[in-house]
Structure formats: C-alpha cells, structure tokens
Chain A
C-alpha cells in the first residue's frame, strides 16, 4: 500500500511510501488518506520524507486530504524534500500548511 499510519498520543502519523505523488496516483492517494484519517486524533502528520517529487495534481490531492479531515482537525506536513518544498513555496501552500523539516520535529512540536 502507498500509505501506512501509526498513532501517537495526540496525532496520527501517515507515511507516504512512494517516491512521487503525481497525476497517476493523486486519486489513489486521496482515497488512501481518507481511509487512514477517518476518525482518530484531530492532528494528522503527513510524513513526506520518501517523496522526491510532487506535481500540481499531487498538491491538489494533499489539499483535498486536508479538507476531508473536517472541522477542527489539521494536517501538518513533515520531511519535505527539496523539490516538494519548492512546489509548496511556489504555490504559497507553505502558508496554508505547517511544514516541519522532519517527522521528529513535527512529533516533538506537539509536545511543546
């Protein structure tokens, strides 16, 4: 499967086990996100450290994944690689999501 998830005390961590989120997998990604985030903690951390490349369809799928979380829940992103980071900054989506350099940073942030 493309995604795996684990539960910490206060967050659901969803890890993308694919090196790209592109047009060919955007719909599958969105559906898998729905399955992994249906219910559970209000905070979801998406670990993107294995993802080398994302296109606008993949970006749209991440936005859709945040919307489908519903009210009062949030999607934080961790471990953006350089090209993925570039897409988020170019589109100003870095102002919409909270971005953490690594999964550890994201998990630690929830404690503080």
Chain B
C-alpha cells in the first residue's frame, strides 16, 4: 500500500519533470524508438530466415539426399542439389532406417495451359508421399487418393485462382509441358492446396503425379524421412553397399552422398541447381553484427541521455534522500522511470513496425504479412525483449550516480560543483560511451562501403547487367526452337530492336553441363577430361562486348548443321588445357556427345574470361559453340527511349512466330537483382542501419554538447573578455568531441579490417577495400560529428561575453 503510494507520487514526479523539460527525455525516447523499430524489423527477418522449413511435422528427421561426384581423372565435379541417379528410389527398400522417400522432379521451364490461359509455372512431379512429408494442406480433394494415379495434379490456391477464378477446378483438365517434353500432356486436377509458406525452400505451383511409381526419375530432388533415433550417418554408412548394386566400382568411388537436414537447406546449402536462391549463414551473421552495432549505439546513447538527465535531476534525488527516501525508494524511482521510457519506446516501436511493415517489405523485397500466424506474437516477443534489454540500461545511471554521490554537498553554495554534469563532454564515462557509439557507427559506414563495392563489382561483371536495359525471353519452347532464326530475323526488321542474341542459360544462371572432348595433340591422359559447354548465338560476344583475345569470333550463325563446327574457348579453358591462347587457335576440336558432330571441328578463337553466371562463383573453363536446339534463352537489346512500343513489338512478333506459347520475359537487370538478392538486401539493410545509427549517435552528441556548452558559458565569456577569437573558441569547444570521434576511428579501423576480411572471405570475387575508403569513411564520420555540433558551437562561441557572464 505504502509502496503504491510512493510509486504513484514518483510517477507523478517523473511525468511533471518530463513536461517541464522535455528535450532530453524526447531525445532519449526518439533514439530508443528508432533503435527499437530497427531491432523489431531485423529480428523479424532473422527469425524468419532461421525458421525456414522448420514447420514440417518431422522436420528434425527429414533430410535431402544429394550425391556429390568428384572424378579426378576427368575433372568432373558436380555437387548438385538434385541427382540423376534414378536408382536412389530403391533406398527405402534396401537401406535400413529410411522410413519414407519423396522424389521431386522439377520441370525445366514448365508451362501450363487451360483453355486459352497459358503461363509459365513451377511444376513438379512428386511421389504421393509428398502430401504427408511436406504437410501439403489440401483445401479440396482427398489427400489419400490424390496423386495416386497417373496424370493427376494438385495445384496451389494461387494457381487455381489464376486459371479457374470462381470455377471449381476439381476434375478440370490442364495441359502441361516443359522444355524437355516432346508434347503437351493432359492432367486432371484432383486437389487444391494452400500455398506453401514463404519460408520454405520450394514453392510448387503445380504438383503432378508420377506416371509410373516403379520407374526411375531422370533428374530429381530426393527427400528422406529417417526412422526415429536414426542418425544420418547410420544411413550413409550403408550407401556404398547400396550403390554398388547399381554402378560399377570405379564410378561408385567417385560418389559422396550427403544428407542435409531440411531445415538447413536454406541457410547452409550452396549446391548447384538449388530449387530457389537460398539465403546464407554468412549474410545472417553480418546482419546480426550490424544489428548488434545498432543496439550498441542505441543502448549507449540511451545510457548517456539518462546519465545526463539524472545528473540534471541530482538535486531532486538528494532531496528525496533528505526527506527520508530509502534505498528501495531510489530503486523504485529508477525502475519506474525506466519502465516509462522503455515502455513508451517499445510501444511506439511496435506500432511503427506494424504500420511500416509494408514499406519495409517494399524496400527489402520481403513479404511479411501481419496475418501470418504467429507473426504478431513474434513481434510482441521481440518488443518484450527490447523492453527487457533497455530496462536495466535506463535504471543504471541513477543507481550508479546515487551510490557515488549519496547525500553530498546539497547544502553547499554550488550543489553540483563536483558532479560530472559540470564536466560535460570531459567526463570519462560520457566520452567512453560516445566513443563506443562512434566505433559502431564507423563499422556501419564501412559495411555500407563494402556492400556497395561488392554489389558494384558484381554488376560491373554481370552479362549486360547494370549498364543498359536488356530484355531476356526466358523460355524458348523446345517444340518450336528451330524457328529461333526466324524470330530473330523478324525482330531485327524493326528499328526498335538493336540486336538479338541467345544462349542456353539465362544471363546469370549457372552453367553446369559438361562434355568429354577430343583434341589431337593433347596428352593421352586428357582424353577422359570433361569441359563445361555453353551453346551460344554467333553474335553473343559482340552483343555483350566481350573481347576476343586470340583468333576470331564465330564467322556467322551456322545453326545445327554448321560444318565443320566452330568452337571458342575462354581463357580459363585454355589454362585448363595447359596451352596458350595462340597455340589453341586453329586446333581441331570435337565434343563427345550424341547431339554434336562426329567430325572434328576447329577452335576459331579465345575469348576474354567473363562470368556468365553469378559472381559468387569462380569462372570455369568453358567452350562456346553453336547449337540452335539448346538456345533456350534469348536476349534482346531494344530502343530504351521507346520501351513500351518495343515490348509490344517483341510480344507481337513472339505470338506471330510461336503462337500458343507463353511470352515469358524479364529485364536482365531484374534477373541479376534476383540473383544478387541477398547482397542487395544486405546493402539496403546496412545503409538503413547505418543512417539510423548515425542519427541516434548524432542525437546523442547534440544533446551532450548542448549541456556541455551551457555549463561552459561562463568560461567562454571569461575567455572572450580576455581576448579569445571566435575561431580559437570553436577549436577549443570542439576539441573534446573531435578527440573522441578520432579516437573512435583509430579503434574502429583495425576492427573493421578484421571484420571485412572475414566477411569478404566468403566471396570468390571480393571487393578490395582501399586505404582511401577508410580515410574517407573516417573523414565522413568526423564531418558528420562536427556538423552535428556546428550550430551550437557557433552560437556558444559568438555569444556576447557580457550575456555569457550575466547568464551565470
């Protein structure tokens, strides 16, 4: 009862204090709100990334099986997420411990047609067990019978909406085909499922049944559920014996099986041919580090502000002591004040986040929705954690100061003569706190610099990316691909179209196809070697302005029947062969493949190394050649001043040449943004966090300088009366803050060197940070700090000395 009464009196006191002097409380609150919102948003993201694929019923014993192939003899290395070993389907029957298995076959460039509606879709063929293993929730249809017979499909809710609208899709017939399908096949819809949640590594739009469950798959992703208490190693231990029934000993020795826990795929799997662009642990760690920096800045700033406020209110606390407040009284006062701050800040941050979520989504390219089950709760938990973290920080200053200055000197003429307030920026505690904030701020600036540089490096090296707008038509249908030359010719008839080229893979996609080759004059042991192949159009290199370093370009487009075949190698391939560019040109060369010519062709040129895939990977040895029926992707350079017209023209031409096939295109720039999504997000995030923490830190020194200058007014006056110039006063006033910020830079540089090394070691093509960058970042930081205090300094230094002295 008495405690309540005291608490109430104190609460009233606190609120009146704020009302009478709102600046510092407002500044500390603002800093907290900013920090809190950032914490909530970033933790939302972190938690979502960490919870990928954790929602499946048996997630802890569901694994993806991959088989890595390393053949040192041929130089063949494949670490694919999918496998072409159809015999893996016998695993549950032949290896103990495997409870069930699902094969997911991803259709290459799948297309769905229903009456007139036609579009590209993410189509998978899967065993019926997929419904249980992936917890596919059927809104319509019977989970027991769905996918049990041939030519059945279940479709996602959004696919159903797209094709059927209000019509009940059950029993309707879909036509599906893909780039490797000979014909369009009819499938009957037997179920509609809820869209897969955002944070899974696979999002099928259509799942088709397996035509014959006993037939091995061609390319498939294999998922296993292990028996309870079975370790992955128990299963892997049987793999050799199992594999030896299907492949010979020599091949078996090249195979290494891996079991990846399904929840680890998103963050820890970096294999080729992943189903979607995965996240990365590295990215999360960098993000977590940045978040930590922001939190540091926020908390230290908050501590500083509270420290100043408490010092200012010191008299009040002394009076409380005189009138008989006990220890618990101070504790409850500190607690109450802190609750008010943390509560208000967390509350405002919570509301802000709820309202700003759409903006955040647009900015970061994420898709958080408030109606996602558990999301609000999660935000609430984060809010609670933020509240709990800030609570002791808010209490600390009062408790620290109270124990130091208990009952001292209230009765003397200058009650605060010996308190830290008087020393303002000279106080060691404040200096240290501000210093730490600026160390963090410097790290953040460097993070922005590095992330920007890294992205620029990527974009600079992207095929046609970054420089100009190119259009990529992604799915030239195999059924009509022979008509590509016609399509190209038609396009080029218009002045809207500047140039057209094509390749097997879309710009930025992985090229992982390898073939054996023969080259007379090469040492015998290279006879088994494999090389990466990339069929391209004749004008591919001129289209992308890639220089030929030796020999010449393809003479002209030869189609499928170019005889003899012409080959161009990249520099990496020349190295791989152990020759020089000049030696290679003119040599006879042949690829060992069913589709390629049996006759020897000729290497006509060597092209400068460039990265056709993602810059997160090394440049591989490629041989480029022409084969129309592998040119699945077409890229168009058009008149960017007349984009709409150009697009319309390309679309019309498409439907003229390929009637009945979807016109599926994207801008190359956008495709690269997708490929470098992680880096892009990190760049935006680091920029956002950096700006916000700079604002918080600036708020802090703004307030501290304010109070410091007020205390030093008299000193300024005396110095002026004694002849000090404005400039020397400005130097004298900013000396302390300058020392702190410079000190912070000195501490932060080695720290950022270490951190950036660690960060960039994750990239094969890493941005190199120059000393100039450090220098400029330091300069920027110092300038920002000086600008922050500039106005106050000017005011303090130019004040009339008479006023200054009278002011005291």
Do these two chains interact? no
Chain A positions within 8 Å of B, measured between CB atoms, are none
Chain B positions within 8 Å of A, measured between CB atoms, are none
